[in-house]
């Protein structure tokens, strides 16, 4: 199970996605959700592997 944590411009955890059965599904979902998340002030996301109990990676959403 994989899920995304949402991080705002201040580096604060401000929410999370639902869980996805596999990494590929989670990554496909975030690709579709990026623009909506940016509109809500989400600047970064963290992909978390709930089975292994670890962060997979952290990724910025904005363009600089």
Q: What is the pLDDT of residue 4?
A: 98
Per-residue pLDDT tens digits for 22-35: 999 999 999 999 99
Contact in structure between 45 and 61 (CB atoms under 8 Å) = yes
Domain extents in the chain: 2-60
Per-residue pLDDT tens digits for 5-53: 999 999 999 999 999 999 999 999 999 999 999 999 999 999 999 999 9
Give the contacts of 14 (CB within 8 A, at least 6 positions apart): 6, 7, 8, 41, 42
Contact in structure between 34 and 61 (CB atoms under 8 Å) = yes
User: Strands, E, within 1-64: which ranges?
Assistant: 2-8, 13-20, 42-49, 54-60
**Phi/psi-derived region of residue 7, left when phi > 0, alpha when psi is between -120 and 50, beta in every other case:** beta
């Amino acid at each position: 199970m994989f899920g995304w944590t949402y991080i705002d411009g201040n580096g604060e955890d401000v929410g999370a996605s639902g869980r996805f059965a596999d990494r590929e599904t989670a990554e496909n979902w975030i690709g579709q959700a990026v623009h909506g998340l940016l509109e809500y002030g989400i600047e970064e996301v963290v992909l978390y592997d709930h089975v292994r109990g670890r962060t997979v990676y952290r990724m910025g959403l904005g363009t600089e």
